Amino acid sequence: MRKKNTSWVFESKWFLLLVILLTPSFAQAQGPPSSKDCIAYAYTSSEPHLFLIGENTSVFGNTININHNCDEIQLFIDEEFAAASNSNLTYNVEPGRHNITILFENQTLSYQNVDFYPDRLEWEYEYQLIEEQKSAFISISDSNFMVNWAVAFSIVIVWVLAVYVYWQLINSYVQRTFIEEVSQ
């Protein structure tokens, strides 16, 4: 019994030593960027929605907004100079596919194939059109009235056709089986 306790204590010491050796004791965490670092990002907006500009993205809105904390920033659209600013930048762009390049403090952000769509969301535009055209719709009571008349008219047509078809069948049977005496 005593031998079993010793082996358990011995094994737990080895396990504890192994855990300590495998634990990364020299891990270094990087803190937040210092105030010297220059950070910039670009986005568009459409109504209350914001769309971040990135590589091969589709965005709604025709105004590029660039927020940054740099000394100066330059914006190039399709490799042509568009604007420069030392504060946050707003620039109007035509709908379509463009290549966006942002230059600041020896850094370059380049976004290829960014699709810009007009400053509205499709479903919202279509919803507004439907709301404007609501007067063209008929009321439920009018719809029910028309449905009731259609059902009644359909019943009359089906009854007339059924009676006519049965009458023709009965008439042809009677004509074939009718025997008439002929007197001389």
HEC states along the chain?
CHHHHHHHHHHHHHHHHHHHHHCCCCCCCCCCCCCCCCCEEEEEEECCEEEECCCCCEEECCEEEEEECCCCEEEEECCEEEEEECCCEEEECCCEEEEEEEEECCEEEEEEEEEEECCCCHHHHHHHHHHHCHHHCCCHHHHHHHHHHHHHHHHHHHHHHHHHHHHHHHHHHHHHHCCCCCCC
pLDDT, mean of residues 86-115: 90
Instruction: Please give the Cα distance from 45 to 158 (Å, whole number).
Output: 60
Q: What is the pLDDT of residue 156?
A: 95
Supply the pLDDT for residue 11.
Answer: 73
pTM of this prediction? Answer: 0.49
Comparing 152 with 133, the larger pLDDT belongs to 152
pLDDT given at position 29: 58
pLDDT band at 35 (very low <50, low <70, confident <90, very high): low
On whether the CB atoms of residues 106 and 49 are closer than 8 A, the answer is no
**1: confidence class by pLDDT, cuts 50, 70, 90:** very low
Please give the share of the chain, as a percent, with pLDDT higher than 70. Answer: 81
- For the chain, give the percent of residues with pLDDT over 90: 39
Residue 119 pLDDT level (bands cut at 50, 70, 90):
confident
- For the chain, the average pLDDT equals 82
Can you read off the two tokens belonging to residue 178? 């009718």
Distance between alpha carbon 32 and the CA centroid of its chain, in Å?
34
32/39 Cα distance (integer angstroms): 12
Whether 104 shows a pLDDT value over 60: the answer reads yes
